Structure 1
């Protein structure tokens, strides 16, 4: 697969994750980030969005809950303000950073010193976090090629 094909494949994976999130109806969606917004955020914060994350945020921007918080649930909006360059996906879930990867990066939950894998990639994370995952599956282990130095070691 050429570099351009890998990028297109990554963007399609991000778009699939965003479509599934919309199908599940768990959040309010606004129009996604524009190329100009991605450029501004990358320049301002010195980051580079991987193709899958870029495809996800360009397809539709999750901005708030679809329903009020349930009893005992935090009233805090778990969706970050990406237009201000916040790197989280949701609450304390992050895509592991690996500059050469266009897709297939694991999603991690990082809360203090507790770090675990929450999905093999964005599509798997959306299904596990918001869908109806198989309780027999347990927590995902990333594919060997998707391991990210430091973060995958920390998550075990």
Structure 2
């Protein structure tokens, strides 16, 4: 079992919630040895919530899937994993070859080759390593960190798809994910960890106070923080910092966020600024 802390417990809760929706198939979670082997092979460390998510269960594509979405850190094709890991940087370099540049890298070199080499060095030293979660969704790497926003990355088009792993899960797979209106993923009562909504960490109920819920953190019937219709910290009808109908820093459904909307810890200035 992976070393437990607040971040890994949060990631485990997200995996349990996703399993409870019936929308995601899970294989047994990665062992500590398997997680370490993947990190050593690919040269990064998982953020704590990502590590907890993978140790609780390894999400896998359903039978007959012609376009794999979930990275298979246990038996996956090495070429596929390498492509996923390299895709964020390769996408930026593609755009550099077609005119993209940022003043943070200094003056653009006159030749295309020199410009690409400069960009590659800058990305290697100044941009967080992004680790695939699902499709084009990525989390920054880094053991000892958690709570990063989930980024949807396609070349230099970067969107905050959830203020944290839990927000992303609700946006991507929540009960109302198929009929979202205006980028809002509304929650259904009874599934939140700390309240009455459907977001995995209880952010879907938008009120304050203690409520009941059958949450993925194992606290069935003991919602600690969110229920009702007042103000709250996440998705739902109130104000908050997560995805949903209120005002917040995350997004539910791919709405672009301003750089200042990204909650701490900041992923890295480069990726953050691309969300502007």
TM category (shorter chain) comes to: 0.7 to 0.9
Match of 1:31 in 2: 28
Could you say which residue in structure 1 is the equivalent of 2:133? 89
Q: Give how far 1:60 is off.
A: 0.4
Q: Secondary structure at the match of 1:23?
A: helix
Quick one: distance in 1 between partners of 2:19 and 2:153? Answer: 24
From the two aligned structures, give the one with the greater strand fraction: 1
More helix by share: 1
Could you say if the C-alpha distance between residues 125 and 101 of structure 1 is closer, same or farther in structure 2, counting changes exceeding 3 Å?
A: farther
Deviation for aligned residue 1:100? 6.6
Deviations for 1:2-31, whole angstroms, at most 9, x for unmatched residues? xx9xx6000111011101111111121100
SS in 2 for 1:26: coil
Normalised by the size of structure 1, how large is the TM-score?
0.80
- Secondary structure of the structure 2 residue equivalent to 1:44: helix
RMSD: 2.3
> For 2:72 and 2:138, how far apart are their aligned partners in 1?
14
**RCO comparison, higher one (Cα < 8 Å, 6+):** 1
Worse-matched range after superposition: 80-89 or 26-35: 80-89
Write the mapping of 1:12-91 to structure 2, written as runs, cut at 5 A.
12-65=9-62, 75-83=66-74, 84=76, 86=81, 87-91=131-135
Q: Once structures 1 and 2 are overlaid, which stretch shifts more, 23-32 or 134-143?
A: 134-143
**Equivalence for 2:8:** 11
1:106 alignment partner in structure 2: 149
2:46–2:143 Cα contact (<8 Å) kept: no
Distance, in Å, in 1 between the alignment partners of 2:41 and 2:64 is 33
Gaps of 5+ in 2: 82-130, 177-184, 187-243
2:271 is aligned to 151
Q: Per-residue displacement from partner, 1:99-128 (whole Å, max 9, x unpaired)?
A: 375221010001122110001111111001
What SS does the aligned partner of 1:76 have? coil
Change over 3 Å in CA distance of 1:45–1:79 after alignment to 2? same
Greater mean alpha carbon deviation, residues 19-28 or residues 51-60: 19-28
Report if aligned partners of 1:64, 1:79 keep a CA contact under 8 Å in 2: yes
CA shift, 1:130, in A, is 0.6
Largest Rg, 1 or 2: 2
Query: What residue in structure 2 maps to residue 130 of structure 1?
Result: 173
Distance 1:94 1:26, change over 3 A: same
User: Shift of residue 136 of structure 1?
Assistant: 3.9
CA contact (8 A) 1:96 1:151 kept: no
Q: Distance in 2 between matches of 1:100 and 1:33?
A: 16
Is 1:121 the counterpart of 2:241? The answer is: no
